[in-house]
A and B are shown apart, each in its own frame.
Chain A
Amino acid sequence: MAEPPVVPAADSGRSRRRFLEAAAKVLAGLVAAVGAVPLAASVIGPIFRRPAAHFARVGRVDAFPLGEPVNPTFEYRTDDAYLHTIVLHDVWLVRRSATEVTVFSAVCPHLGCHYYWHAKARQFICPCHASVFSIEGRVLAGPSPRPLDTLPARIEEGELLVKWQRFELGMSRKVPL
């Protein structure tokens, strides 16, 4: 059997030292890298989330009169990260039949004022800049660049659910904010 090669003491000391240095650097790098993973992930993670607009209960469909606009207010939960606030929102809606309801955002598409229903003239009128809309939401007069904004709505077991949204103001296209 061949003898194992004899390594001079000084040489073995040097490679031992090289190993210790390299190992320490590898471990330090690994500790830093693994430690950085949760830091980076937690600070970048949530920024690509899209805030979800959700449907909220507005009321019983059969409580709304047929063909006559009404302006119900309802509670809506707004979510901003961990701040959840219940706010009151309102919409204008016209019930066309037992299963058909048109829901308008209560915000004038011109500059965001709240318009009202003029029962005698049978028109929606915005008091700020005198935009006038038909019961279908069409612009009849005034500066509004687009018809009243309709909101997604559905009926579940006789309850009207509305997805409350805001849209960019003052432009002819309807773009959700």
Chain B
Amino acid sequence: MALRLAEWFNERWPIAAVVRWSLQEDIPGGSRFAYTLGSSALFLFLLQVATGVWQLFYYVPSTDHAYDSVMYLRTEVPLGWLVHGLHYWGNNAFLVVVGIHVARVFLWGAYKAPRELTWLSGVVLILLAASMTFTGALLAWDELGYWAGEVGTSIAGTVPWIGGFLERFFRGGGAMGQLTVARFFTLHVAVLPGLMVLLVVIHLVALRQFGSVGPWNPEKLQASGPFWPDQVLKDLLVISVLLVGLIGLSALAPAPITGPADPIDTTYTPKPEWNFLFLYEALQVFKGRWEPLGTVGIPLAIMALLVLAPFLDRREERRPRRRPVAITVGVLFAGGILALTLIGYRSHPGVAAGPPPPPPEPLPGPPVALSPSAKRGQELFQQLGCAACHAVSGPGSVLGPGLAGEGRRGRSRPWLTVQIRDPKEHTAASIMPPYAALTDAQVGDLIDYLMSLTTAPPPPQGAAPGAVAGVPPVAEAAALPVPPSGQQGPPGLAASMVGDPEHGAILFRLTCAACHGTEGTDKVPNPGADRGTVPPLKGIEAALFNDDPAVFAANIDGFVQHGSMPKGKAPQLHMPPVGVTNTLTQQQIAQIEAYVLALNGVDRAAIRRPGIAPVPFFILSCAVFAGVWAGLGGWWLAVRRRGGTEPRQVS
């Protein structure tokens, strides 16, 4: 019955011919593991297609939903973590396998006539794969993808003459936004995959036209072996190892969580993933007007070298020993890319909080002439950035006490020396950084300068005569009413966004550490509040803590969004409403909340509904594959013992 059905089909559509065409092929020199790279790349491509299509069941290509929809897939969908992980690691594996595939083909001299078209379609496939990596990263609309897209489209903007058009074309306008997501989405899921399928077909048909090239050693060419099943089995062995490896990577090293994209946040330092590092590192060499040479010249040179290889190297010779020029160029080429990748991997672009602050304005110095040492101290005061926290005239700021009139406070020189070198000696919770590295002479100059500040600060307007200027209580400076402790408003958008604790730590240092202490542990004094100190964030109140990261984040988000006034008569410090006042973006708040959760041992990106948890799933798949490999190995040994292996065909 099945046979008749197959016949019926075959009369109307040549199935048998297609199967014969794709499987019945003689491999010159017989099957080899070295030839499994192309099939492995094909498998990884199909895996990308499958896991990519599957992500579309959840993904929403819009700036306000893309990140959350990806995180939903990764944390709330059973085995969604694996679909996403296979796609993420599958891409990396694809690039590696293709890289080795190209190296193998080059070493074997398989790009030479008449196989130029196989080689050329492969070069175009590499270009398409790189474009897929670039467009795919942006779709997650996280910090990594957003900034990679921002930098990538800016690089397109440096192309001479048409750069401006290209940048706008890819962004869908002047700035990154909704149209950028829509464009990258269309390219990533329709245009580029369509082209890739076309190129894969061309690649395979071109391969079958002339068959495999076989070993370069003419003696080995005498023998041959069939593609099916000899080579196919070797291919599948490698593919099964690859799949288990990808499952392991997805389980043990999930794709990085960098938090929701935030165009306004200047504290994120973009650095490309490994696959573009060589280009990133090469770009460092070309600055200013030479920039297009790096951004356009290098990629063009690489492509030109690959495209022209079969036309520049036209001799028939395939033995590597007889092709010293080609092999040297190839080794230099691959070595250069590898070296640049390694250098890029080790470089740290630094965590800069936006552009460096410009030199401070000249300080309004006291009217009296300064002694030479006090003058040096004044310069030092400016260089060290003391003015950022300490005002030397007027009432001072919220960070450090005002130093106007410091010379009349009766401080001794030893007291000031200790205060400068080790502020915690005087006040355990002081947030002033210790300037222990200053020389005795420098500290002396600084003290001379401070002692010269004898002009009393002007009494603030409206203040009672004799009022002491110092740290103005934040409470009276706030413009918005702050709800009393325990009566916070509802959580905001940030509560449902999965942040990145590492980035949150940077933001925390910049915005929260002044009151909450460096790791949320210091007991910063809060005079006037009932509890006397700012509540700790590490070892947070039990009422706020929750094992479920979404609940925990929602619990603390109300405080961050709306602020909180501690209980007490006149608390000097209170939690400012950083959310409703737009002081921080919702994305930044999500990052900081992820850090606070991490301080309390809760992973904001924990998989809430894994289906099967990652590590058990990995162990299970290892066991299943190991069992099958062992079974097949035993069968193979039994066949060999019975002398069942056929001799290779000799032509």
Kindly identify which residue among A46, A71, A106, A143 contacts B360, using a CB–CB cutoff of 8 Å. A143
* Cross-chain contact of A140 among B355, B394, B510 (Cβ < 8 A): B394
CA distance A130 to B363 in the complex (A): 14
Which residues of chain A are near B171, meaning CB under 8 Å? 47
Interface presence of B63 (CB below 8 A):
yes
Among candidates B182, B472, B583, residue contacting A114 with C-beta atoms closer than 8 Å: B583
Chain B residues with Cβ below 8 Å from A106 are 582
- Residue numbers in A under 8 Å from B172 (CB-CB): 46-47, 81
Which one of A48, A81, A90, A112 contacts B266 once the chains associate, using CB atoms below 8 Å? A112
Determine the chain B residues whose CB is within 8 A of the CB of A122 once the complex forms.
Answer: 460-461
Are A116 and B357 neighbours in the complex by a CB distance under 8 Å?
no
Contact A88 B580 (CB under 8 A): yes
A88, A121, A125, A127: the one contacting B460 at CB < 8 Å is A121
In the complex, A113 has a CB within 8 A of chain B: yes
Which of A19-27, A154-162, A168-176 lines the interface with chain B? A168-176
Chain B residues in 8 Å Cβ range of A142: 360-361, 387-388, 397
CB within 8 Å for A111 and B583 given contacts A120-B462, A132-B394: no
Which residues on A sit within 8 Å (CB–CB) of B474? 127
Residue of A nearest to B168 (CB): A47
Q: Does A83 contact B (CB under 8 A)?
A: yes
A129 at the interface (CB under 8 A from B): yes
Whether A130 pairs with B64 at a CB distance below 8 angstroms is no
Q: Report whether B472 and A80 are in contact in the complex, using a CB–CB cutoff of 8 Å.
A: no
**How far apart are the CA atoms of A23 and B612 in the complex, in Å?**
63
- Could you tell me if B173 and A46 are in contact, using CB atoms closer than 8 angstroms? yes
Name the interface residues of A124-164: CB closer than 8 Å to any CB of B: 125, 127-130, 132, 139-143, 145
Instruction: Decide if B477 touches A111 in the complex (CB within 8 Å).
Output: no
Beta-carbon contact of A130 and B175 below 8 Å: no
Question: Does B610 reach chain A (CB closer than 8 Å)?
Answer: no
Given contacts A49-B173, A169-B354, contact A132 B463 (CB under 8 A): no
B178 in complex: contacting residue of A43, A83, A112, CB < 8 Å: A83
Among A91-113, those with CB < 8 Å from B are: 106, 110-113
A-facing residues in B358-398 (Cβ within 8 Å) = 358, 360-361, 363-364, 385, 387-389, 391, 393-395, 397-398
Beta-carbon nearest neighbor of A117 in chain B: B479
Does any Cβ of A come within 8 Å of B308's Cβ? no
Q: Which residues of A contact B178 (CB under 8 A)?
A: 80-83
Query: Which of A89, A112, A128, A143 makes the CB contact (< 8 A) with B264?
Result: A112
Residues of B within 8 A of A110 (CB): 357
A128 to B472, CA, bound (A): 15
CB atoms of A169 and B266 under 8 A apart: yes
With A47-B172, A125-B477, A127-B398 known as contacts, the answer to whether A132 contacts B510 (CB < 8 A) is: no
Q: A81-B179, A88-B580, A125-B477 are in contact. Are A169 and B355 (CB under 8 A)?
A: yes
Tell me which of B173, B357, B389, B477 contacts A117 (CB under 8 A): B477
**B residues less than 8 Å from A143 (CB atoms):** 357-358, 360, 385, 388
A32 interface contact, C-beta 8 A: no
- Return the CB mask of B43-68 against A: 1 if under 8 Å, else 0: 00000000000000000001110000
- List residues of chain B with CB under 8 Å of any chain A CB: 62-64, 168-169, 171-175, 177-179, 182, 264, 266, 353-355, 357-358, 360-361, 363-364, 385, 387-389, 391, 393-395, 397-400, 460-463, 472, 474, 476-480, 510-511, 576, 580-583
Question: Can you pick out 23 interface pairs between chain A and chain B where the beta carbons lie within 8 Å of each other?
Answer: A46-B179, A48-B168, A48-B173, A49-B173, A80-B63, A81-B173, A81-B182, A85-B64, A88-B580, A112-B264, A113-B511, A114-B583, A119-B462, A120-B395, A120-B463, A120-B472, A121-B395, A122-B460, A122-B461, A130-B399, A141-B363, A145-B358, A169-B354
Q: 6 smallest A-B Cβ distances: which pairs? A: A143-B357, A130-B397, A170-B355, A120-B460, A114-B583, A47-B168
Contact residues of A with B, CB < 8 Å? 43-44, 46-51, 71, 80-83, 85, 88-90, 106, 110-114, 116-123, 125, 127-130, 132, 139-143, 145, 166, 169-172
* Known contacts A85-B64, A111-B353, A121-B460, then 15 further A-B pairs from the complex at CB < 8 Å, ordered by chain A residue: A44-B169, A46-B179, A47-B168, A51-B175, A71-B479, A81-B177, A83-B62, A89-B582, A106-B582, A112-B266, A120-B462, A125-B398, A127-B398, A130-B391, A141-B364
